[in-house]
Amino acid sequence: MKVVILAGGLGTRLREETEFRPKPMVEIGSRPILWHIMKLYAFYGHSEYVICLGYKGDVIRDYFLNYELRNRDFTVTLGSRETEVHDGHDEVGWRVTLAETGEKTATAGRIRRVARYLGGETFMATYGDGVADIDISRLLEFHRRRGKLATVTAVRPSSRYGELAIEDGMVKVFQEKPQVGSAWINGGFFVFETGVLDLIRGDSDSLESDLLEGLARAQQLAVYTHDGFWQCMDTFRETQLLNQLWGEGKAPWKVWERSGRNQSRL
């Protein structure tokens, strides 16, 4: 099943990083967050990607065009064009379509622009700036069971602040960055039937305020609730948090290395 990744936004709230590169190319560890998202899907057997480009899309194009040389040892013979690539990497077989969808195109409009690459089949989609330990196989099973045009994953993000339980002028409970109680939000990680493409009118249509709202009114938007880890990368502070988790070996989204399993299990 193909996976559409929205990677064309301006990333204005992360201007420290996105002045020179698109947000999906901001790194966690030594890899772009885009790579982390793709590794999650590949672990569950989905390694055909359609990446919607826009703002500084050439940075993403160059990354994949040079992927083999970036991630493998090689020997170059100076004075000729001969290059010998050694060893291998774990992303063999990934099929990546890089599609220009315009700098000013809205999120649903970007999906409409890549319709020709989706093969007329059910497809998945997500944003290019969020990671989670979501079980993609369970998400797909849920979508098929509900039989709706679309499924959105709902998550409960962590608060940016510590939470205090106060009684008689004393702190009874202190919880650093707890999950926001009952407030479910759109976490991305969508599943769509091809019928949704007919509902997108043009480039100006937003995924959130146009397509999803319309599907909800028509009772065609199912919701898969994910209680596990989820984190977007909207701010520099969140970038630091994700890098800290990765650097300490505590990245919950790194499912491809759990219990010795590998991405080819399905």
Place 9 in a pLDDT band, splitting at 50, 70 and 90.
confident
Q: Name all domains of the chain by residue range, CATH numbers in brackets.
A: 2-155+184-260 (3.90.550.10)
What is the chain written as a DSSP string?
Answer: -EEEEEE----GGGHHHHTSS-GGGSEETTEEHHHHHHHHHHHTT--EEEEEE-TTHHHHHHHHHTHHHHHS-EEE-TTS--EEE-S--TTTT-EEEEEE--SS--HHHHHHHTGGGSTTS-EEEEETTEEE---HHHHHHHHHHHT-SEEEEEE-PBPSS-EEEEETTEEEEEESSPBPSS--EE---EEE-GGGGGG--STT--IIIIIIHHHHHTT-EEEEEE-S-EEE--SHHHHHHHHHHHHTT--TT-GGGGGG--TT--
> Is it the case that residue 212 has pLDDT exceeding 80?
yes
pLDDT tens per residue across span 227-258? 999 999 888 889 999 999 999 999 999 999 87
> Is it the case that residue 173 has pLDDT exceeding 80?
no
> Is it the case that residue 79 has pLDDT exceeding 60?
yes
> Is it the case that residue 166 has pLDDT exceeding 60?
no
28-32, 87-91, 150-154, 195-199: the lowest-pLDDT one: 87-91
Q: Would you state the pLDDT for residue 171?
A: 46
Query: What global pTM score does this model have?
Result: 0.85
